[in-house]
A and B are shown apart, each in its own frame.
Chain A
Amino acid sequence: DTEVTQTPKHLVMGMTNKKSLKCEQHMGHRAMYWYKQKAKKPPELMFVYSYEKLSINESVPSRFSPECPNSSLLNLHLHALQPEDSALYLCASSLSGRPNTEAFFGQGTRLTVV
């Protein structure tokens, strides 16, 4: 099983809303990631959790708040987003706790901020 599951698949939210994206993997992977991908661009790393601890924050605005409740779950809390935050948000995981190794991606949450 090489599956990373993300919910919801689509999300439309207003600029004053609070919402959360969820990610789950049961592969025993020790690192989990959030990426943001704009159309026709490669994924951009946002956050890395290694062994359930936040190890990398790529200078992401505080309106994005990650959370790792346990080794299988990863959340991304969203608050007061801007229309330019509309994108495909991807969760990924890797067996190693290091962020520079092969990563398995979920199908993404397509977020639209109105």
Chain B
Amino acid sequence: QKEVEQDPGPLSVPEGAIVSLNCTYSNSAFQYFMWYRQYSRKGPELLMYTYSSGNKEDGRFTAQVDKSSKYISLFIRDSQPSDSATYLCAMSSGSARQLTFGSGTQLTVLP
């Protein structure tokens, strides 16, 4: 079993839809959680960073962490074609040597 599981998709939604992207993890020591957006042939862009449990909102994006269920989510409201990209979750513990990435979810928002 992988430490971090992420549905690879692909996921297609119409413009304006609410998108929910999710990751589950097995390591209860994880406490730092990130979401990255990666456009084709570009580097990952940090979208959201959350420490421990709770919600964090930034514009159309909301990151949610549920440590009791070992589950994190990224919600995108009013999705736009420009949101079409691969979304990677990443997480780590305080003593980890590195970030652990999910496999990425490919999202397409159709005009």
Contact = CB atoms under 8 A, between A and B. Distances in A.
B99 A103 contact: yes
Given A41-B103, A42-B103, A56-B97, A100 B43 contact: no
B32 A107 contact: no
B98 A104 contact: no
Contacts of B96: 99-100
A102 B49 contact: yes
A42 B5 CA distance: 12
Interface in B84-111: 88, 92-99, 101-104
Interface majority SS (helix, strand, loop, mixed), chain B: loop
B66 interface: no
Interface of A: 2, 4, 6, 40-43, 45, 48, 56, 58, 88, 90, 99-108, 110
Interface of B: 32, 34, 36, 41-46, 49, 88, 92-99, 101-104
14 contacts: A40-B104, A41-B103, A42-B102, A42-B103, A43-B44, A56-B97, A90-B44, A99-B99, A102-B46, A103-B46, A104-B46, A105-B43, A105-B45, A108-B43
Given A88-B41, A88-B43, A90-B43, 6 more contacts: A2-B46, A42-B102, A99-B96, A100-B95, A106-B43, A110-B41
